[in-house]
């Protein structure tokens, strides 16, 4: 691919990286079209952070090819077209939002009127225009998160790496952050969005890649992932009023349901028939039902199905 | 419950190596430094030997004996010429000795005048006696006091015959005329005295040899120590504040800000260079404030010294700043930095003469002091403000402090590679 803006925002081919005995990336391949929001999901220690840090030039892969708009990550052209919002609030707490934005704007090569305009735009975008002269350490957690995003986008990058931008913020700030992301998408910014919140990924991302043990184990749209992983796209949940006896448990498990305490979960390919069978089972064993629901299969179920339920750390 | 609190704190201390160093190693280091300066092993005098440039203008047997006795005196190190290899004439003249004191090469000089043999030691009025001249640097108020006392001691122990003759003359003059027989017997006894064992003269009452003191420096200046303390303490606090400010690098690393910075167009070299500019600017401002305060409140004269001050401030600020950067690069945490900076800055300040002048230290400690940037900075400022030497004489200090800056910055840059892409 010829370097330049016609090249894909992000292109990874067979990336490998080890830290001593630990293999962090084990042949990651990935390509993003322009303007896409790609959700990057994975358990802790799966390789997400190493992949993101490779894209921003802070980790050098042992092998494989990585390109940002056709350039190696350490190339100045890649640096200028790429933005990074780390999970940590990586700002100077004693400086004001204006001073922080000025600093990171200069670090990205902006100056003069361009820098002034970028600061004003970023303050407006993050809803911090009226707090621009306060100390950053005096801002609320949500405000600092928004300023963290503004500092990573001050130079108007065309590829943005967002690392869990909504951790620890209240619902109002989260909505504001979603709005900010929607505005970036409207400007055709390509975004790699790392999160542990599945509903967030479902809501924001065009496509989702699940990474585990240093490999991309599944990638596609939410519906495609559900179909390819679970084979069905609906789940039945039942909550019993009391304990589920061994006979009923055996019956339910024969139907393919998973019983966990008083809860029952069934991935349903034929919901009407399967719900009828479940209800008959409860009725026969004289077990009362507190709640029953039929829902679209969630990304969380896909995630847990692919990565397992065991603790990773 | 109380023991649980104590035990958990003990665990904490064990896991915090920096605090452990502070608690145990630091006091031992400082104890050792002070013991070396003032104690120098057990049973030795705490007073360092005074180096004295001796000029003999009398060239008489009496003056030769006096010089030999000065050289034999354990409390001083008398030398008649500069150290070998200095490229200067082998024997001091009065002018050369004065120049040596003025340049700080010798703390004090002693000139034995012509006519010393004809009555250097004499009881009675002092007006017509040949006086020994001490050429002193008033920034060292101790040397002339000690040396004046030692001169009396040496005279009495090394020249008992002259002492006795002076006593006989005084008796003859003030106690009535001696008979010829009395004088003959006394002369016979006195003739045996030069070979008498030294040290039998008891404690000297002082004043047998007249001593004149002349300051060769700072006659027009008020307080000779103001420039010294402005430079000495200024450099010490510069080092502390540079180490503290250098710690911003560690904070950036710990908060993830450093990662973010290095993902932008800022490289590690640019980052360190930017921090150096900041640290050196602050350090230069601190020194300027210190000297201006000395000028306003303590009468330190800045007039005619601005260029020298500027040169020394720039090289000192750069050296202190690169030192701060190096410490920050070496340290793995803020706590480690605090421990390391306390240890190194205090040690350098004591040995390098920031807390008390190096001329008060034993000679070997004075030489060790030259391993610190404090000593070079203080010497440079003293040359500018106290000795008022020409600017060209600052070259050793400028060269050494500049070299320190280059080496420290290069080392800091190399160690900072650990923060670059892995």
- Can you spell out the DSSP letters for B1-54? -HHHHHHHHHHHHHH-HHHHIIIIIHHHHHHHHHIIIIISSTTS-SSPPEEEEE
Please name the helix (run of DSSP H) or strand (run of DSSP E) that holds residue B149, with its range, or none: helix B142-158
Q: Tell me the pTM.
A: 0.74
pLDDT for residue B174 is more than 70:
no
Q: Which residues pair with B411 in a beta bridge?
A: none
**Is residue A14 classed as helix, strand or coil in its secondary structure?**
strand
Q: Which residues pair with A40 in a beta bridge?
A: A194, A209
Neighbours of B104 (CB within 10 A): 18
Q: A263-267 and A234-240: which strand pairing?
A: antiparallel
pLDDT at residue B44, as a whole number: 46
Q: Of B31, B177, B56, which Cα lies nearest the Cα of B110?
A: B56
- Six token digits for residue B345: 């800055």
Average per-residue pLDDT for chain B: 80
The sign of the dihedral angle between the CA atoms of A259, A260, A262, A266 is negative
pLDDT for residue B201 is more than 50:
no
C-beta atoms of B259 and A58 within 8 A: yes
Please compute the mean of the pLDDT values over residues B204-225 and round it to a whole number.
64
CA distance B365 to B352: 9
Q: Which of A70-74, A234-238, B251-255, B361-365 has the lowest mean pLDDT?
A: B361-365
User: Is residue B267 less than 8 Å (CB to CB) from chain A?
Assistant: no
Complex ipTM > 0.85:
no
B263 vs A19, A57, A89: nearest CB: A57
pLDDT at residue B205, as a whole number: 37
pLDDT at residue B196, as a whole number: 41
pLDDT for residue B133 is more than 70:
yes
pLDDT for residue B320 is more than 90:
yes
The DSSP secondary-structure symbol of A136 reads G
B266 vs A82, A91, A107: nearest CB: A107
B259 vs A90, A91, A108: nearest CB: A90
List the single best residue of A56, A148, A192 to mutate versus B (max B Cβ within 10 A).
A56
**Chain A residue with minimum CA distance to B263:** A56
**Phi-psi category of residue B111: left, alpha or beta, with phi > 0 → left and psi -120 to 50 → alpha:** beta
Q: Of A36, A75, A183, A62, which Cα lies nearest the Cα of A122?
A: A183
pLDDT for residue B332 is more than 90:
no
Strands (E), A125-275: 159-163, 190-194, 207-212, 215-220, 234-240, 258-260, 263-267
Please compute the mean of the pLDDT values over residues B294-298 and round it to a whole number.
85
pLDDT at residue B204, as a whole number: 34
pLDDT for residue B199 is more than 50:
no
Residues A248 and A254 sit within 8 Å (Cβ to Cβ): no
pLDDT for residue B246 is more than 60:
yes
User: Is residue B260 less than 8 Å (CB to CB) from chain A?
Assistant: yes
Q: How many helices (H) and strands (E) does chain B have?
A: 17, 5
Chain A hits for B274, CB-CB cut-off 8 Å, are none
pLDDT for residue B311 is more than 90:
yes
What's CA B3's distance to the chain center, in Å?
A: 49
- For chain A, which residues score pLDDT lower than 50? 1-2
Average per-residue pLDDT for chain A: 89
- Residue B41: pLDDT band (50, 70, 90) is very low
* Chain A nearest CA to B289, separation (Å): 25
- Residue B396: pLDDT band (50, 70, 90) is very high
Please compute the mean of the pLDDT values over residues B361-371 and round it to a whole number.
84
C-beta atoms of B422 and A86 within 8 A: no
Strands (E), B127-273: 132-136, 211-215
Q: For residues B322 and B6, which has the higher predicted lDDT (pLDDT)?
A: B322
C-beta atoms of A58 and B263 within 8 A: yes
What's CA B57's distance to the chain center, in Å?
A: 29
Residues A81 and A158 sit within 8 Å (Cβ to Cβ): yes
CA distance B57 to A273: 127
What's CA A86's distance to the chain center, in Å?
A: 13
Residue tagged 């306390």 (tokens): B342
- What percent of chain B is predicted at pLDDT more than 70? 81
pLDDT for residue B385 is more than 70:
yes
pLDDT at residue B40, as a whole number: 54
pLDDT at residue A186, as a whole number: 93
pLDDT for residue B408 is more than 90:
yes
């Amino acid at each position: 691919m010829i370097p330049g803006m016609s090249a894909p925002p992000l292109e990874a081919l067979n990336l490998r990286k080890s830290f001593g005995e630990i293999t962090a990336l084990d042949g990651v391949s990935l390509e993003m079209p322009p303007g896409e929001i790609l959700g990057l999901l994975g358990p802790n220690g799966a390789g997400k952070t190493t992949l993101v840090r490779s894209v921003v030039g802070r980790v050098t892969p042992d092998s494989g090819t990585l390109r940002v708009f056709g350039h190696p990550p350490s190339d100045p052209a890649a640096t200028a077209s790429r933005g990074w919002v780390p999970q940590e609030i990586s700002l100077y707490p004693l400086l004001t939002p204006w001073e922080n934005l000025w600093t990171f704007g200069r670090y990205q090569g902006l100056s003069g009127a361009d820098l002034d305009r970028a600061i004003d735009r970023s303050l407006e975008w993050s809803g911090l225009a009226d707090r621009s002269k306060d100390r950053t350490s005096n801002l609320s957690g949500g405000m600092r998160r928004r300023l963290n995003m503004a500092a990573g986008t001050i130079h108007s990058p065309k590829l943005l790496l967002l690392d869990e931008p909504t951790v620890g913020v209240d619902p109002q700030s989260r909505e504001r952050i979603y709005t900010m992301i929607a505005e970036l998408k409207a400007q055709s910014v390509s975004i790699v969005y790392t999160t542990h919140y599945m509903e967030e990924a479902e809501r924001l991302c065009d496509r989702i890649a699940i990474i585990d043990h240093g490999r991309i184990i599944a990638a596609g749209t939410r519906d495609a992932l559900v179909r390819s992983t679970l084979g069905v796209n609906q789940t039945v949940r039942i909550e019993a009023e009391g304990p589920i006896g061994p006979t009923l448990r055996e019956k339910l498990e024969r139907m393919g349901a998973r019983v966990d305490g008083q809860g029952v979960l069934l991935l349903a390919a034929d919901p009407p028939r399967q719900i009828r069978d479940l209800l008959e089972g409860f009725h026969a064993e004289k077990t009362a039902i507190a709640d029953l629901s039929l829902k679209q299969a969630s990304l969380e179920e896909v995630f847990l199905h692919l990565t397992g339920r065991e603790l990773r750390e | 419950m109380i023991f649980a609190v104590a035990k958990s704190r003990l665990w904490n201390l064990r896991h915090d190596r920096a605090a452990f160093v502070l608690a145990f190693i630091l006091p031992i280091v400082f104890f050792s430094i002070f013991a070396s300066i003032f104690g120098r092993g057990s049973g030795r005098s705490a007073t360092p030997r005074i180096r004295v440039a001796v000029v003999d203008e009398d060239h008489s047997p009496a003056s030769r004996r006096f010089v030999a006795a000065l050289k034999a005196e354990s409390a001083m190190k008398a030398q008649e010429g500069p150290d070998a290899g200095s490229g200067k004439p082998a024997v001091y003249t009065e002018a050369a000795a004065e120049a040596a004191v003025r340049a700080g090469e010798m703390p004090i000089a002693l000139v034995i005048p012509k006519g010393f043999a004809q009555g250097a030691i004499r009881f009675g009025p002092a007006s017509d006696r040949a006086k020994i001249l001490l050429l002193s640097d008033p920034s060292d108020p101790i040397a002339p006091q000690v040396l004046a006392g030692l001169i009396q001691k040496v005279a009495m122990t090394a020249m008992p015959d002259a002492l006795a003759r002076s006593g006989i003359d005084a008796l003859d003059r003030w106690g009535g005329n001696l008979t010829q027989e009395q004088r003959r017997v006394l002369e016979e006894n006195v003739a045996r005295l030069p070979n008498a064992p030294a040290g039998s003269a008891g404690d000297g009452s002082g004043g047998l040899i007249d001593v004149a003191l002349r300051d060769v420096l700072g006659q027009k200046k008020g307080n000779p120590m103001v420039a010294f303390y402005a430079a000495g303490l200024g450099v010490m606090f510069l080092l502390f504040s540079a180490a503290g400010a250098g710690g911003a690098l560690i904070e950036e690393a710990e908060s993830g800000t450093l990662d973010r910075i290095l993902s932008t167009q800022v490289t590690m070299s640019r980052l360190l260079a930017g921090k150096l500019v900041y640290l050196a600017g602050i350090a230069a401002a601190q020194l300027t404030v210190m000297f201006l305060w000395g000028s306003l409140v303590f009468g330190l004269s800045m007039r005619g010294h601005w260029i020298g001050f500027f040169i020394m401030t720039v090289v000192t600020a750069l050296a202190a700043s690169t030192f701060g950067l190096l410490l920050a690069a070496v340290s793995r945490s803020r706590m480690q930095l605090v421990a390391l900076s306390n240890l190194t800055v205090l040690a350098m300040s004591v040995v390098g003469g920031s807390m008390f002048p190096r001329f008060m230290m034993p000679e070997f400690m004075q030489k060790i002091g030259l391993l610190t940037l404090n000593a070079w900075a203080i010497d440079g400022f003293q040359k500018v403000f106290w000795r008022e030497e020409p600017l060209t004489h600052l070259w050793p200090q400028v060269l050494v402090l500049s070299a320190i800056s280059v080496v420290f910055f290069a080392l800091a840059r190399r160690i900072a590679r650990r923060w670059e892409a892995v």
